[in-house]
Amino acid sequence: MSRPAVVLLSGGLDSATVAAIAQRDGFEPHALSFRYGQRHSAELGAAMRVVDQLGIADHKVVPVDLRAFGGSALTDDIEVPKGRDPAEMVGEIPITYVPARNTIFLSFAMAWAEVLRADDIFIGVNALDYSGYPDCRPEFIDAFQAMARLGTKAGVEGGELTIHAPLIDLSKADIIRLGTSLGVDYGITVSCYDPDAGGTACGECDACVLRRNGFAQADVADPTPYRD
Amino acid sequence: MSRPAVVLLSGGLDSATVAAIAQRDGFEPHALSFRYGQRHSAELGAAMRVVDQLGIADHKVVPVDLRAFGGSALTDDIEVPKGRDPAEMVGEIPITYVPARNTIFLSFAMAWAEVLRADDIFIGVNALDYSGYPDCRPEFIDAFQAMARLGTKAGVEGGELTIHAPLIDLSKADIIRLGTSLGVDYGITVSCYDPDAGGTACGECDACVLRRNGFAQADVADPTPYRD
């Protein structure tokens, strides 16, 4: 019998791959997405397509008002940077960083895991992100897990909540190769920070640049329709 | 000049006291409350009265849908226990426990602190709670702080986010004595898990029992109107 796991599913390339990994490893994914005032609500449509494609039976979309505090190009009316080289993205915290986003998302996942009596949570953070986003670093994930074990009923009763971040050491090309081998259809996922109204990717923001380079390096045909 | 701090303010006796402590210690409180599908939304009215009484200039109320997951008498249609002796409340996790509530609330506080460039967050957890609620224990607060320092821009840049839990070792009577000395008007706060439509406390749930006993032990007149 498969074990329940909460899988954070944004609708991007990474989280779709993580959901497929959870299935491969014998878990039954309960997918969790957020409506958080993001510019790229096209992601939510992509999350629903991924749920369909992978045959996930349980999907919750929770509204979370991250705009209440502001402070990010992804929730405020701040311009998303375009046309940057990957080398420019390293070693700084980008304007697309949303304060405490992964902490908030993992906290909701922890609440749901507790109600489901699930001991496992999956999140798609990876090496490319943690150069810039503080809450994508392995030491953050470890610290969250330690906190979560103390902060839940299951933890008090001896349960061992585990935060799985199976992409954390992988390059975008590695992720694409792995997901392709698991049958993930990347044509239905959305990574772009600035898609148009129909959900078509800009091709030029940091997320698009990393995605394009990833497909090129993996030597896999890129199914993404870009508008440039 | 006073330093900004995010203060979690439920409108109960404990968090009102914590806001007054933050002011005494030279902080400028930015009060954060949640509309979380709680039965006792009377608390939110109380939070607003506390903000007025203490002269707090900045108050945000963030909607958070904790009912999405269920699992608690405070968000579901489960009966709140009445008429229990404090001795009965020790050593078990009560049905009024909301999964991961403090983790979620502290995560939002962390997001706001980051945007405000505040290094301090105040929360009113205390010794009476942590006998029953896992996320009220001192080791949980310490673990959250460690995680938060790793998960924020300020932490990466060398900031030292501190989670203050000034009530953590105090009894209800101690809290009432301290708050009374700081001028807190407990008549405007609401602790009850099951108030009526007008916000009047039942007098019999665990929160009411602890509150009544606290005033009696502190030898302070209890200003709370109870309906029994």
Listing DSSP states for A98-144 in one string gives -TTHHHHHHHHHHHHHHHHT--EEE----HHHHTT-GGGSHHHHHHH
pLDDT given at position B99: 80
A155-163: average pLDDT: 78
- Please give the residue that has the higher pLDDT: either A81 or A188: A188
| A66 assigned to some structural domain | yes
| B224 assigned to some structural domain | no
Question: In whole angstroms, what is the distance from residue A137 CA to residue A139 CA?
Answer: 5
User: Looking at the predicted structure, is the pLDDT value of residue B70 above 80?
Assistant: no
Nearest by CB to A147, from B69, B115, B144: name it.
Answer: B144
| A226 assigned to some structural domain | no
Identify the three-state secondary structure at position A32.
Answer: strand
pTM (2 d.p.): 0.88
pLDDT given at position A155: 64
SS (H, E, C) chain B: CCEEEEEECCCCHHHHHHHHHHHHCCEEEEEEEEECCCCCCHHHHHHHHHHHHHCCCEEEEEEECHHHCCCCCCCCCCCCCECCCHHHHCCCCCCCCCCCHHHHHHHHHHHHHHHHCCCEEECCCCHHHHCCCHHHCHHHHHHHHHHHHHCCHHHHCCCCCEEECCCCCCCHHHHHHHHHHCCCCHHHCCCCCCCCCCCCECCCEHHHHHHHHHHHHHCCCCCCCECC
User: Looking at the predicted structure, is the pLDDT value of residue A184 above 80?
Assistant: yes
Residue of A nearest to B97 (CA): A153
Contact assessment for residue A224 and residue A201, using Cβ atoms and an 8 Å cutoff: yes
Please tell me the distance in Å from B150's CA to the nearest CA on chain A: 5
Taking only the tens place, the pLDDT of each residue in A22-59 is 999 999 999 999 987 666 578 888 999 999 999 999 99
pLDDT given at position A152: 80
The position carrying tokens 């009577």 is B173
| B155 assigned to some structural domain | yes
Nearest to B121 by CA among B36, B191, B19, B16: B19
Contact assessment for residue A145 and residue A162, using Cβ atoms and an 8 Å cutoff: yes
| B226 assigned to some structural domain | no
pLDDT given at position B121: 97
- Please give the residue that has the higher pLDDT: either A97 or B148: B148
Contact assessment for residue A204 and residue A166, using Cβ atoms and an 8 Å cutoff: no
Taking only the tens place, the pLDDT of each residue in A195-225 is 887 778 888 888 888 899 999 999 999 998 8
Residue of B nearest to A158 (CA): B134
**Cβ distance of B134 and A112 shorter than 8 Å:** no
Residues in chain B: 228
Residue of A nearest to B115 (CA): A71
The percent of residues above 70 in pLDDT, for chain A, comes to: 82
Please tell me the distance in Å from A19's CA to the nearest CA on chain B: 20
How far from A196 is each of A46, A199, A213, CA to CA, in Å? 14, 5, 21
Nearest to B122 by CA among B85, B181, B168, B176: B168
| B227 assigned to some structural domain | no
Q: At A21, which CATH number?
A: 3.40.50.620
User: Looking at the predicted structure, is the pLDDT value of residue B175 above 80?
Assistant: yes
Q: Phi, psi at residue B92, to the nearest 5°?
A: -135, 160
- Which residues on chain A are in Cβ contact (under 8 Å) with B101? 111
pLDDT given at position B2: 78
Task: Give me the sign of the Cα torsion angle A115, A116, A119, A122.
Answer: negative
Per the structure, the complete domain to which residue A79 belongs is given by 3-218
| B36 assigned to some structural domain | yes
- Please give the residue that has the higher pLDDT: either A121 or A92: A121
pLDDT confidence tier of residue B67, bands split at 50, 70 and 90: confident
Residue of B nearest to A142 (CA): B147
Interface of chain A against chain B, CB under 8 Å?
60, 62-66, 68-71, 93, 97-104, 107-108, 110-112, 114-115, 134-135, 137, 139-140, 143-144, 146-148, 150-153, 155-156
**Cβ distance of B71 and A134 shorter than 8 Å:** no
Question: In whole angstroms, what is the distance from residue A204 CA to residue A219 CA?
Answer: 20
**Rg of chain B over all Cα atoms, to the nearest angstrom:** 17
pLDDT given at position A142: 94
pLDDT given at position A16: 97
Identify the three-state secondary structure at position A197.
Answer: coil
- Its ipTM equals 0.85
Residue of A nearest to B60 (CA): A68
pLDDT given at position B89: 63
Question: In whole angstroms, what is the distance from residue B89 CA to residue B75 CA?
Answer: 20
B213-218: average pLDDT: 93
| B186 assigned to some structural domain | yes
Q: Which helix (H) or strand (E) holds A212?
A: helix A206-218
Number of domains in chain A: 1
Residue from B103, B116, B145 whose CB has the most chain A CBs within 10 Å, to mutate: B103
pLDDT given at position B143: 95
pLDDT confidence tier of residue B83, bands split at 50, 70 and 90: confident
Contact assessment for residue B31 and residue B59, using Cβ atoms and an 8 Å cutoff: yes
**Cβ distance of A107 and B93 shorter than 8 Å:** no
B134-143: average pLDDT: 88
Nearest to A8 by CA among A38, A32, A26, A28: A32
Mean pLDDT estimate for chain B: 85
Listing DSSP states for A43-110 in one string gives HHHHHHHHHHHHT-SEEEEEEB-GGGT---TTTSS-PPPBS--GGGGTTS--TT--TTHHHHHHHHHH
pLDDT given at position A215: 94
B34-38: average pLDDT: 77
Residue A25 DSSP one-character state? T
Question: In whole angstroms, what is the distance from residue B208 CA to residue B27 CA?
Answer: 30
Q: Phi, psi at residue B31, to the nearest 5°?
A: -85, 135
**Cβ distance of B107 and A112 shorter than 8 Å:** no
B184-210: average pLDDT: 86
- Which residues on chain A are in Cβ contact (under 8 Å) with B139? 150
Contact assessment for residue A74 and residue A98, using Cβ atoms and an 8 Å cutoff: yes
- Which residues on chain B are in Cβ contact (under 8 Å) with A152? 99-100, 134-135
